[in-house]
A = this chain, B = another copy of it.
Amino acid sequence: MKPSDYVTESTIARKIRFLSVINARLYPGKELLIELTELPKPPTNVEKWGIFELSLFGPSEGNPYQEVHLTARFQYKNRIVEPEGFYDGNGVYRIRFMPDEVGVWRYITSCSSPELDGRHGEFTCTEPSPSNHGPVRVKDGYHFAYEDGTAYMPFGTTCYHWTHHGDERNEELTLQTLEASPFNKVRMCLLPTRGMRPPRIVFAGTGPEDADRTRFNPAFFAHLEKRIADLGRLGIEADLILFHPYDKGEWGFDGMDRESDQYYLRYVIARLAAFRNVWWSLSNEYDFNKCKTVEDWDRLLQFVQRRDPYRHLRSIHNGTKMYESSPLYDFSKPWITHQSIQHWDPELTTEWRRANRKPVVIDEISYEGNSPRRWGNISGEEMTHRFWETMARGGYVTHGEAYIDPDKLAWISSGGTLRGESAERMAFLRRIMEEGPADWLQAAEDGDYYLNYFGRHQHAYCELSLPMGAEYAVEIIDAWKMTVTPLCGTFSGTSRVELPGKPYTALRIRKSGQAAGREERA
């Protein structure tokens, strides 16, 4: 095959789509039969934490999703990884793999279908490109970093179904908004809600009446994957919500049996786990799902933990039903990597850290907006306060906007543009946090750095008790006005600092000579 003959996967996909449309118009009700003669050759070089993809033709009769079991064994020296492959429709099977060691990897497939069994080859894993730092991992107990050690602090937002509405222009707009925003994580759902009629869903079929949970829709996934890759290019993690309780008996996806749940999760993992910017959020508001028990969620979380070869971040997100009588999900369970909490009170961050010794991410702390729903109508000021209060206590927090608009869905539903006041304050907060140490509470214990946030308090002054024998530079931060005002001179030991006497004030205190913060250590 000459280079000019090289047919990319997406070219094929586009051709098939085009032919399908023509066929449907000319021969309604008749299936389009296409015999593909070419598939992309697997790449010979893949950067570390990039995606190696092997595409193969295989059987298309019956239900290949269910009937064909394909895996591959990838080996680098003593290291062996065995991802599962998946059927991608039209007789095409694929195996995706994310290598994490530079060098030559060899692979061999294993399949219930002889024509897909024993296919083998090798590729070279090269050094990652400059913007590729690998998947995000937990670091130092309460924090995160990319696998190459680069600091990562989640400053997330929520756009539950931004990829579902079949509105490509709005999706592009969402990406533009995200690119200009401080956000580096997006919470987003795979499954539709009651009342939604998306052009494509996870499963075959388009509506509740014809949804076939025994087959998947490769076009849905191809689209989703494109958007996950788009996010990746913008440095944004995709916090994928695998189940949610908003089905209310319509699609039935919240109440599937154990086998269907696992069938779905296997397919999702086979397709998506090789994307380095994926996180698994087993469910949104799991406690609102009456079809499942905590034991079910434990089991599904462990299933994902076993099946995902890359140990992507894994959590589950509560609703607010259980507060009066029950605690949150027990995030100390070993299959949980971080605490994905819904709560309106950022002051509890301290307690959650203490209780479970894992990173705290308040993924829903109410949304800025004017929705009639309790969870969607706090002011930008209040939202900003909650961001600061959470971070000052060593946690992370996720943004969301729920302004109502007769012409479009809210940001949390479909993305689009932002109109609130808290997003730019989160950008300011992100700047402040990224200028400081990665573990700012530890730095405070070490006497190197303090971020004292006074929240709703409006001190006329405060007494600092700084370590003796060191000099500190002090700045007054206005979290709302986004100003940083350095105080003259340096401070040491016990000293009094005059404050502006208004809410949403913080003090940043840095050991002299450390003003450059992180940059200095890099």
Partner of A457 from B378, B459, B503 at Cβ < 8 Å: B378
Q: Does A371 contact B (CB under 8 A)?
A: yes
A370, B460: Cβ atoms under 8 Å? yes
Asked whether A501 is an interface residue with its Cβ less than 8 Å from the other chain, the reply is: yes
Asked if A374 CB lies within 8 Å of chain B CBs, one says: yes
A425 to chain B, nearest CB (A): 16
Distance of A382 Cα from B504 Cα, bound (Å):
12
Is the beta-carbon distance between B458 and A379 smaller than 8 angstroms?
A: yes
A372 partner residues in chain B, CB cutoff 8 A: 459-463
A459:B501 contact, CB within 8 angstroms: no
Q: Do B503 and A456 touch across chains, with their CB atoms under 8 A apart?
A: no
- How many A residues, CB 8 Å from partner? 25
A370 touches B458 (CB 8 A): yes
Minimum CB–CB distance for A364 against chain B, Å: 15
Q: Which of B377, B461, B503 contacts A458 (CB 8 A)?
A: B377
Copies of this subunit: 2
What is the CB-to-nearest-CB distance from A254 to chain B, in angstroms, rounded to a whole number? 25
In the bound complex, what is the Cα–Cα distance between A454 and B378 (angstroms)? 10
* A370/B404 contact (C-beta < 8 A), A324-B351, A382-B503 known: no
- Alpha-carbon separation in the docked complex, A429 to B99 (Å): 65
> Which residues from chain B contact A378 at a C-beta distance below 8 Å?
456-458, 503
Chain B residue at smallest Cβ distance from A404: B460
> Distance in Å from the Cβ of A73 to the closest Cβ of chain B?
51
Find residues 336-372 in chain A having any chain B CB closer than 8 Å to their own CB: 345, 351, 369-372
CB pair B501–A370 under 8 Å, yes or no, is yes
A397 to chain B, nearest CB (A): 16
Q: Contacts of A370 on B, CB cut-off 8 Å?
A: 458-460, 501
User: A367-409, CB under 8 A of B: which get 1 and which 0?
Assistant: 0011110100111001000000000000000000000100000
* Bound-complex Cα distance A459 to B324 (A): 25
In the assembled complex, how far is the CB of residue A29 from the closest CB belonging to chain B, in whole angstroms? 45
Q: In the complex, what residues of B have CB within 8 A of residue A501's CB?
A: 370
- A460 CA / B324 CA spacing, docked (Å): 28
CB closest residue in chain B, given A373:
B459
Tell me the smallest distance from the CB of A239 to a CB of chain B, in Å: 26
A464 CB to closest chain B CB (Å) equals 10
Residue from the set A324, A371, A377, A382 with the largest chain B CB neighbour count within 10 Å: A377
Q: Could you say which of B345, B456, B459, B460 contacts A382, with CB atoms under 8 Å apart?
A: B456
| Contact mask for chain A residues 12-50; partner B; CB cutoff 8 A; 1 contact, 0 none | 000000000000000000000000000000000000000
A371 touches B460 (CB 8 A): yes
B-contact bits for A212-244, CB 8 A (1 contact / 0 none): 000000000000000000000000000000000
A457 contact set on B, CB distance < 8 A = 374, 377-378
For A460, the chain B residues whose CB sits under 8 A away are 370-372, 377, 404
Per-residue 0/1 for A315-351: is the Cβ within 8 Å of any B Cβ (1 yes, 0 no)? 0000000001000000000000000000001000001
Contacting pair B371 A459 (CB below 8 A): yes
Q: Which residue of B lies closest to A383 (CB)?
A: B456
Please name all residues of chain B whose beta carbon is closer than 8 Å to the beta carbon of A382 when the two chains form the complex: 456, 503
Given contacts A324-B351, A370-B459, 20 further A-B contacts (CB under 8 A): A345-B345, A370-B458, A370-B501, A371-B459, A371-B460, A372-B459, A372-B460, A372-B461, A372-B462, A372-B463, A374-B457, A377-B457, A377-B459, A377-B460, A378-B456, A378-B457, A379-B456, A379-B503, A382-B456, A382-B503
Can you name 22 A-B residue pairings with CB atoms under 8 Å? A324-B351, A345-B345, A369-B458, A370-B458, A370-B460, A370-B501, A371-B459, A371-B460, A372-B459, A372-B460, A372-B461, A372-B463, A374-B457, A377-B458, A377-B460, A378-B457, A378-B458, A378-B503, A379-B503, A382-B456, A382-B503, A404-B460
